[in-house]
Chains A and B, each alone.
Chain A
């Protein structure tokens, strides 16, 4: 699994950080998404898929 984030779409809701804090974080200066792990291990895949589906801005993409 490869994770892609589109910063210009991100609205800083922080939903992904709540669901998958090992993979996503937010920049301190504007709340925009930061990708911590672009190839998360299998144990994180469910959480990452959930983060994708609940992102209000559809700013996270996956290549599986």
Chain B
């Protein structure tokens, strides 16, 4: 692999749980690699831990939404989710971003998540009740991993239970890079936008104990109330960010533990390992999706390579999380690894707002499965698991399990 060679990005990989062979090679020999997105636009791929962390933590760089020469991610006409109206309505940088982030962020503190824990546990138990009633084998993704986070987000937005299925579909459409047509994506975004605008009006008339109700009464950096457009985009953003990511991660985490069942037995024997197991599963996830895009608008140097102004950089947190110079035995899943400064949630001012929620959901999901279904096992061979392509978030098509 040479500096002049242009890779397609995302790098295709056949194995469901293993990283593509290119990662190790890129980290070793080509830390800033030329790639081409599905849109045909060129970008630079960064794979070393220190470089990924440096780019993501650098407050000078943002996604480049609206910049004419920023690379478009998707092959649809408008370049997909990150070039969408939703991405442009919310303040992306500076003071405005900070104010918005802090307004929403107070809903995601560790303390509030601890308070949500019993409710999430009850949802997990309810889903497992249905699984047991139906009897195995079942697809754990459809029966458990997928519904749990969308139930949590719907609760947070004050959306009625009966609309949870709609939310799942919209979430799927909005993250698509190749799986849905441009018309389907636009239709889903419009439908969802209309629903949310209506929902915001309902909340204006009748406040509840939810995030939107609280944001309606909040003010921005200039002391003005948030516009309906910002409230709608916030709701959309939380669904997109909080549903498919966590749903897939629950599924992938369980797959990793069951693919070598001694791992499952290790946590079963010592449930104190749940927290470090969740962190290690996040680090180890080789099918994490696209990565984070940054538009570099002033020349920088990464691993001694000059990155000119005007470059779109894509940071592969998943490749960085396998960097041997940061993680000893990076290609081993070590359920006791600590500390584990992985980059699954990104880094810096734009690191995942909902990471405390995601951690709580993953911990509750694992705890509840261990408690209710200790004999859980794959119903197919690990080599038969299939990756889902064409979404911004990587996942498995299904996870057949029995107990």
Interface size on B, residues (CB 8 A): 28
In the complex, A40→B236 CA distance in Å?
Answer: 41
User: Quick check: B108 and A14 within 8 Å, CB to CB?
Assistant: yes
**Contact status of A17 and B111, CB under 8 A, knowing A29-B106, A31-B102, A54-B339:** yes
Please name all residues of chain B whose beta carbon is closer than 8 Å to the beta carbon of A11 when the two chains form the complex. Answer: 101, 105, 348-351
Give every chain A residue within 8 A of B340 (Cβ-Cβ).
Answer: 54
Within the complex, the shortest CB–CB distance from A13 to chain B, in Å, comes to 5
Instruction: Please measure, in the bound complex, the distance between the C-alpha atom of A12 and the C-alpha atom of B98, giving whole angstroms.
Output: 10
- What's the least CB distance linking A40 to chain B, in Å? 16
Tell me the count of chain A residues lying within 8 A, CB to CB, of chain B. Answer: 23
The prevalent SS among residues of B at the interface is helix
Query: What mask results when residues 76 to 107 of chain B are scored 1 for a CB within 8 Å of chain A, else 0?
Result: 00000000000000000000000001110110
Identify the stretch in B129-137, B243-251, B352-360 within 8 Å (CB) of chain A at 4 or more residues. Answer: B352-360
Question: Is the Cβ of B110 less than 8 Å from the Cβ of A21?
Answer: yes
With A31-B102, A32-B102 as contacts: A57 and B348 at CB distance below 8 Å: yes
> Given the complex of chains A and B, what is the CA–CA distance between A58 and B341 in angstroms?
11
CB-CB contacts of B107-149 with A at 8 A, as 1s and 0s? 0111101000000000000000000000000000000000000
| Cβ–Cβ contact B338 & A12, under 8 A | no
- Decide yes or no: A56 and B102 within 8 Å by CB, A14-B110, A14-B113, A26-B110 being known contacts: no
Q: Is B394 an interface residue (CB 8 A)?
A: no
The A interface, classified by DSSP as helix, strand, loop or mixed, is loop
* Cβ contact of B339, chosen from A30, A31, A50, A56, cutoff 8 A: A50
- List chain B residues, Cβ under 8 A from A31: 102, 105-106, 108-109
- Output the nearest chain B residue to A32 by Cβ-Cβ distance: B102
Return chain A residues, CB-CB under 8 Å to B353.
12-13
Q: How far is the CA of A32 from the CA of B109 in the complex (A)?
A: 9
Whether B105 contacts A56 by the Cβ 8 Å rule is: no
| Of A28, A49, A54, A56, the contact of B106 (CB 8 Å cutoff) | A28
The listed residue with most A CB atoms (<10 A of its CB), out of B102, B108, B275, is: B102
Among the interface residues B109, B113, B353, which one has the most CB atoms of the partner chain A within 10 A? B109
Q: Is the CB of A56 within 8 A of B111?
A: no
Q: Which residues of chain B are within 8 angstroms of A30 by Cβ–Cβ distance?
A: 102-103, 105-106
